[in-house]
């Protein structure tokens, strides 16, 4: 397999035009840390963003940062931290899930809409993404969005590229809005709750005026011995102290929560963010299931009744990370049936190539939606050279 690592957008355009002329299928890669995400690639060469590096703009007062797509995420986060700012959506690091090395890139964050526990409060990566540059399947450089948030009409290419998994083009630059780092972070921890009671407690806290930025539940045996229900608060120290007291009253019937802060709390939320409690053993399949928070326990229980499974919850119960044996269909039948019965969608995040080739990795789309997806693909990548089949067959 050949490969190309352009160092400028112009070089990338030239490489894509050459590939389109001979219908050469290209695998779009960044740092290579999430190579196991999506259906197995059906490509003939790679086109890497790794050579497209560097911060292109940073305006702390305007709370905006831009970088070329191959820039390591760690470089962006370090620069922001030096000025007391951060990416709000808490992008996950999946190297532990896939056993990969290298550096996650800022372009890949946008490409997969990478969003962690703070999504319940700050939105997803696409909600902070305000500008992109990319090379389409004709080898044309396209710019959409800019340095400020604004209303748009017509097709919003910025949001369209977020979560497209490289199927519509090669991202060359991304621009995100950022926010200040919080002065204090504290996590309330309830212990010993079953799934249903834990989600009730999380719902009570999320429904209060005291603004959680994290709401997760780790059942017994997942990342520790006893079950733990986690509620994160961020902000000014005085505000945190007041909100802790008020939330203890809100949660009184669910138990008396403890409070953890500092590195202990930060490490716990990194583990939730990166699905670390289910990373081992590496041979298990791993699903990421989104549903209504109140339905989370029912979805997990329905799957667990049909196949061996372990799981934990994020987003107040609305995100279920679930591990199953990788044999057969890796639990796809049970997962899809549970989602169909209770609502939501599921992604097979990790499984052997043979399984990901045989079962739908992303939630199957209705025929009408698939026609729309195919039409968007054809408009941006008429020769179908970018990550062919990565999300759906023929797209």
Beta sheet of 214-218, edge-to-edge order: 258-261, 184-191, 228-235, 214-218, 310-314, 319-324, 285-290, 345-350
Region 130-139: what's the mean pLDDT?
A: 96
- Write out the two tokens for 213: 């930025």
Q: Is there a contact between 285 and 347 (Cβ–Cβ < 8 Å)?
A: no
Distance CA 381, CA 378 (A): 5
- Residue 125's SS3 state is helix
Which residues in the chain belong to E strands, given as ranges?
2-4, 26-29, 45-48, 55-59, 64-68, 85-86, 129-135, 141-145, 170-177, 179-180, 184-191, 214-218, 228-235, 258-261, 285-290, 310-314, 319-324, 345-350
Q: List, in order of start, the domains of the chain with CATH numbers.
A: 1-181+365-395 (3.30.465.10), 184-273 (3.30.70.2190), 276-358 (3.30.70)
pLDDT, residue 150, reads 46
Tell me if residue 262 falls in helix, strand or coil: helix
Q: Does 1 score more than 70 pLDDT? A: no
What percent of the chain shows pLDDT beyond 90? 91
Mean model confidence pLDDT for the chain: 94
pLDDT in tens, 9-19: 999 999 999 99
Burial label for 360, CB within 10 Å (0-12, 13-18, 19+), is middle
Q: How far apart are the first and last CA of the chain?
A: 21
CA distance 224 to 96: 18
290 three-state secondary structure: strand
Say yes or no to pLDDT of 153 above 50.
Answer: no
For the cut 60, the answer to whether the pLDDT of residue 343 exceeds it is: yes
| Mean pLDDT computed over 89-104 | 95
Give per-residue pLDDT as tens, 43-56: 889 999 999 999 99
Question: Do residues 135 and 184 make contact, with C-beta atoms less than 8 angstroms apart?
Answer: no
* Confidence grade of residue 393 (pLDDT, cut at 50, 70, 90): confident
pLDDT attached to residue 4: 87
Q: Where are the alpha helices (DSSP H) in 262-366?
A: 262-273, 296-304, 332-342, 353-358
Q: Output helix, strand, coil percentages for the chain, rounded to the nearest 5.
A: 35, 25, 40
Is the pLDDT at 301 greater than 80? The verdict is yes
Over residues 261-268, mean pLDDT: 97
Residue 146's pLDDT is 74
Mean pLDDT, rounded, for 280-295? 97
């Amino acid at each position: 397999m050949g490969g190309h690592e352009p160092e400028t957008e112009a070089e990338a355009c030239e490489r894509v035009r050459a590939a389109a002329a001979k219908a050469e299928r290209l695998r779009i890669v960044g740092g290579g840390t999430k190579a196991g995400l999506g259906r197995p690639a059906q490509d003939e060469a790679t086109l890497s963003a790794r050579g497209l590096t560097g911060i292109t703009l940073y305006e702390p007062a305007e709370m905006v940062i831009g970088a070329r797509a191959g820039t390591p995420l760690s470089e962006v986060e370090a620069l922001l931290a030096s000025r007391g700012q951060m990416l709000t959506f808490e992008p996950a690091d999946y190297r532990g899930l896939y056993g990969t090395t290298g550096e996650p890139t800022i372009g890949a964050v946008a490409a997969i809409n990478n969003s962690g526990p703070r999504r319940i409060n700050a939105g997803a990566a696409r909600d902070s993404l305000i500008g992109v540059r990319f090379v389409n399947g004709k080898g044309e450089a396209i710019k959409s969005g800019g340095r400020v948030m604004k209303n748009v009409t017509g097709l919003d290419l910025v949001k369209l590229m977020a979560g497209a998994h490289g199927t519509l083009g090669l991202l060359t630059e991304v621009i995100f809005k950022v926010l200040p780092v919080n002065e204090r972070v504290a996590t309330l921890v309830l212990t010993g709750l079953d799934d249903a009671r834990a989600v009730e407690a999380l719902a009570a806290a999320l429904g209060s005026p005291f603004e959680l930025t994290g709401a997760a539940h780790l059942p017994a045996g997942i990342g520790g011995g006893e079950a733990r229900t986690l509620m994160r608060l961020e902000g000014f120290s005085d505000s945190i102290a007041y909100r802790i007291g008020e939330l203890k009253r809100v949660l009184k019937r669910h138990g008396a929560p403890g409070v953890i802060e500092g590195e202990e709390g930060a490490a716990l939320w990194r583990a939730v963010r990166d699905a670390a409690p289910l990373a081992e053993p590496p041979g298990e399949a791993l699903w990421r299931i989104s549903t209504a928070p109140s339905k989370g326990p029912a979805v997990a229980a329905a799957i667990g009744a049909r196949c061996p499974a372990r799981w934990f919850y994020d987003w107040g119960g609305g995100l279920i990370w679930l591990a199953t044996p990788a044999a057969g269909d890796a639990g796809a039948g049970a997962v899809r049936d549970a989602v169909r019965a209770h609502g939501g969608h599921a992604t097979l995040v990790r499984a052997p190539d043979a399984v990901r080739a045989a079962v739908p990795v992303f939630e199957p789309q209705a025929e009408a939606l698939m026609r729309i997806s195919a039409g968007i693909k054809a408009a941006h990548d008429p020769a179908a050279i970018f990550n062919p089949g990565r999300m759906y067959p023929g797209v």
